[in-house]
Amino acid sequence: MTDAALSFVHRFEPATRQDAPPLLLLHGTGGDENDLIPLGDMISPGSALLSPRGKVLEGGMPRFFRRLREGVFDEDDLRARAAELAGFIAQARAAYGLAAPIAVGFSNGANIAAALLLTQPGVLAAAVLMRAMVPLANPPAADLAGNRVLLLSGALDPIVPEENAARLAGQLRAAGADLDHRVLPAGHGLSQADLTLARQWIEAPARSAA
Q: What is the pLDDT of residues 155-183, one digit of tens each?
A: 999 999 999 999 999 999 999 999 999 99
Exposed, middle or buried: residue 55 (CB in 10 Å: 0-12, 13-18, 19+)? middle
pLDDT of residue 1: 53
Q: What is the C-alpha separation between 38 and 34, in angstroms, rounded?
A: 8
Please give the biggest Cα pair distance in the chain. Answer: 48
Whole-angstrom distance between the N-terminal and C-terminal Cα of the chain? Answer: 32
Considering the entire predicted model, what is its pTM? 0.95
> 2.60.40.10, 3.30.1360.10, 3.30.300.30, 3.40.50.1820: which CATH number matches 2-209?
3.40.50.1820
Give the start-to-end residue ranges of the domains of the chain.
2-209
Asked if 117 contacts 136 with a C-beta cutoff of 8 angstroms, the reply is no
Radius of gyration of the chain, Cα coordinates, nearest whole angstrom: 16
pLDDT of residue 5: 72
Residue numbers of the chain with a pLDDT score lower than 50: 208-210
Which residues face 50 on adjacent strands? 12, 24
Cα dihedral sign for 43, 86, 208, 154? positive
pLDDT of residue 197: 98
Task: Please list, in sequence order, all residues whose beta carbon lies within 8 angstroms of the beta carbon of residue 86, skipping any fewer than 6 positions away.
Answer: 116, 120, 123
Asked if 73 contacts 53 with a C-beta cutoff of 8 angstroms, the reply is no
Q: What is the C-alpha separation between 206 and 210, in angstroms, rounded?
A: 6
Q: Catalytic positions, please?
A: 107, 157, 188
Backbone angles phi, psi at 30, to 5 degrees: 90, -5
pLDDT of residue 104: 98
